[in-house]
Chains A and B, each alone.
Chain A
Amino acid sequence: MLNVRGLTKKYGDTEVLRGLDLTVRRGECFGLLGPNGAGKTTTLRLLLGLIEPDSGSIELAGFSVPKHAREARMKVGVVPQMDNLDPDFSVRENLFAYGRYFGMKKSAIAARVPHLLEFAGLTNKADAQITQLSGGMKRRLTLARALVHDPDILFLDEPTTGLDPQARHLIWQGLRHLIADGKTIVLTTHFMDEAERLTDRLAILDHGCLVAEGAPRALIESHIEPVVVEVFGEGLADWTRHHAASLCQRFETVGETLFCYLDNADTVIDALKLAPTLRYLHRPSSLEDVFLKLTGRDLRD
């Protein structure tokens, strides 16, 4: 469905992408993860043919991009990072206007609108103005708008950023429906739980190249120990100096927290019970641990 080989893009002297390879299969939900500035949004813009790569090839929905970007975009629905619903139109009119951009006839759009409104949970808001919608409603409408031409593949750029938990769950539910319907989905996100929940496979992008690729569970298993104990509290520095190296396979101190990565946490927890001023959190390792291990803990702005 999507095949990217050796994609590079430079802005001035900054190499945003340095030889990116990606393959997304039909019907797959693929996650693109990476810190801010890793090149996620640039990648999506290149895939859509909005900007031209310096080198490399893109094949999207059977079309070579950017040469046949128009034809490719006919098959793609896009949910951008920033809401850009048309504030001059009502909810229903937004769907009609967007359908027209794809060259759809009024009757063809009209046939799809009730279904789209229902999918977005906006049937009784059909005539509301965009300014009257909550953030979650706007996102759902943006998602419905991306589906107006019944695309084969969906690009979602941080689809749940800025939403409250209820609104996020509604979006996830909608996306799971689409996956069940056989749509191919490419999504970028900062939320590891979102990636873990939704994606079949994901790639972690940093400094313009892939640093890891695979199914979420497989990535966790292959990149990191299965258990994490986070330790914090008074006397942490002393405890770390005396015990961490002998008890943990791998550890790191971040701010005032010690992260111990382990196959088995029993010995560490026994030792911690003897240090009453320390508190700890014992949990299975997650995608976030993999992400931080691979991309580092430096702040990206």
Chain B
Amino acid sequence: MIKLLRLPQLSWRFIPVWHRNYLVWKKLAIPAILGNLADPMLYMLGLGYGLGSLLPDVGGMPYLTFLAAGTVAYSTMNAATFEVLYSSFSRMHVQRTWDAIMNAPLTLDDVMLGELTWAVSKSLLSGLAILAVIWGLGLYGSFWMTLWIIPVVALVGFCFGGMGLVMNAVSPSYDFFLYYFTLVITPMVLLCGVFFPVSQLPLPVQAVSAWLPLTHAIDLARPLVVGIVPDNIALHVAALLVYGSLGYVIALALTRRRLLK
């Protein structure tokens, strides 16, 4: 394992892998977009209006705005996670597409970078769709400030893409991914301030929440929606980068052990 853990050797050869995934996605783009985006949108608007009408301001803003900012991060997380779990797993394990690609002059590092950048692209799309709703409904404080949400979304996609690839590396079958959702993703949704402020949680739980990547994503996205500069930008960016990069490096080592033994 120590021997396997090494710095990834990055090259531009990852681009055809990204391109391959893009071409396949393009064939079914319309249903894919609708499927990916309808769900978070329904939650956001349904809860935002329904619950929002019963609630006073939450976190200093109308509940719909509060929820919309959380949903940007949440939806991005989901898009990246689903892509590197189910879709990457199909390509790696079921279709053996990765094996075929590695007989060309690409390494596993290239293939997984292609998968990761593709996951970032998919999550950008999800994040942008929520952002479009935020713009459309005028839920923002400063339009220019909301443009910063775009790189934040890419960073969140990178973070959860890298983390998800670790699960992809160790999973024997699709069923295994349910553990990741039950034990990691769902608790994060509830602990990181998507639906309600983290400050409502007991103090020890807040301490845990502060370490979770989705918290850092939301701490960047929410102020940007409202139109203020987030606190501790460097910390949040660094946390997301570290989670994503560590995930990618560990996933690379585990996948190398799995495929290239």
Give every chain B residue within 8 A of A50 (Cβ-Cβ).
102, 260
A149 to B105, CA, bound (A): 11
- B260 adjacent to A84 (CB under 8 Å): no
A85 to B17, CA, bound (A): 14
Question: Chain A's nearest CB lies how many Å from the CB of B203?
Answer: 49
Question: Chain B's nearest CB lies how many Å from the CB of A50?
Answer: 6
- A84 adjacent to B96 (CB under 8 Å): yes
Give every chain B residue within 8 A of A149 (Cβ-Cβ).
104
Give every chain A residue within 8 A of B105 (Cβ-Cβ).
69-71, 73-74, 101-103
Question: Chain B's nearest CB lies how many Å from the CB of A55?
Answer: 16
Give every chain A residue within 8 A of B260 (Cβ-Cβ).
45, 50-51
Chain B interface size range: 20 to 34
Give every chain B residue within 8 A of A74 (Cβ-Cβ).
105
User: Could you name 25 residue pairs across A and B whose Cβ atoms are closer than 8 Å?
Assistant: A51-B260, A70-B107, A73-B105, A80-B100, A80-B103, A82-B96, A82-B99, A84-B95, A84-B96, A84-B99, A86-B95, A88-B24, A88-B95, A89-B23, A97-B16, A98-B100, A98-B104, A100-B16, A100-B19, A100-B20, A101-B16, A101-B101, A101-B104, A103-B16, A149-B104
Q: Which residue of A lies closest to B98 (CB)?
A: A84
Give every chain A residue within 8 A of B261 (Cβ-Cβ).
11, 51
Besides A80-B103, A82-B96, A88-B24, 20 more A-B contacts (Cβ < 8 Å) are A45-B260, A48-B103, A69-B105, A73-B103, A73-B104, A74-B105, A82-B99, A84-B96, A84-B99, A87-B95, A88-B95, A89-B23, A89-B24, A100-B20, A101-B13, A101-B101, A101-B105, A102-B105, A103-B16, A149-B104
Which residues of A come within 8 Å of B, CB atoms?
11, 45, 48, 50-51, 69-71, 73-74, 76, 78, 80, 82, 84-89, 93, 97-98, 100-103, 149
CB-CB nearest 7 A-B residue pairs: A101-B104, A84-B96, A78-B103, A100-B16, A84-B100, A88-B24, A70-B105
Give every chain A residue within 8 A of B27 (Cβ-Cβ).
88
Of listed A50, A84, A101, A103, residue having the most chain B CB within 10 A: A101
Give every chain B residue within 8 A of A86 (Cβ-Cβ).
20, 95, 97, 100
Which residues of B come within 8 Å of A, CB atoms?
13, 16-17, 19-20, 23-24, 27, 95-97, 99-107, 260-261
Question: Chain B's nearest CB lies how many Å from the CB of A13?
Answer: 15
A149 to B102, CA, bound (A): 15
Of listed B96, B97, B100, residue having the most chain A CB within 10 A: B100
Q: Which residue of B lies closest to A85 (CB)?
A: B100
Given contacts A93-B23, A97-B23, A103-B13, contact A84 B97 (CB under 8 A): yes
- B106 adjacent to A101 (CB under 8 Å): yes
Question: Chain A's nearest CB lies how many Å from the CB of B31?
Answer: 15
A201 to B13, CA, bound (A): 36
A88 to B27, CA, bound (A): 9
Question: Chain A's nearest CB lies how many Å from the CB of B238?
Answer: 33
Give every chain A residue within 8 A of B100 (Cβ-Cβ).
80, 84-86, 98
A93 to B105, CA, bound (A): 19
Give every chain B residue within 8 A of A87 (Cβ-Cβ).
95
A73 to B101, CA, bound (A): 11
A70 to B12, CA, bound (A): 13
Q: Which residue of A lies closest to B106 (CB)?
A: A101
A45 to B102, CA, bound (A): 11
Give every chain B residue within 8 A of A51 (Cβ-Cβ).
260-261
- A80 adjacent to B20 (CB under 8 Å): no
Of listed B16, B260, B261, residue having the most chain A CB within 10 A: B16
Give every chain B residue within 8 A of A98 (Cβ-Cβ).
100, 104
Q: Which residue of B lies closest to A52 (CB)?
A: B260
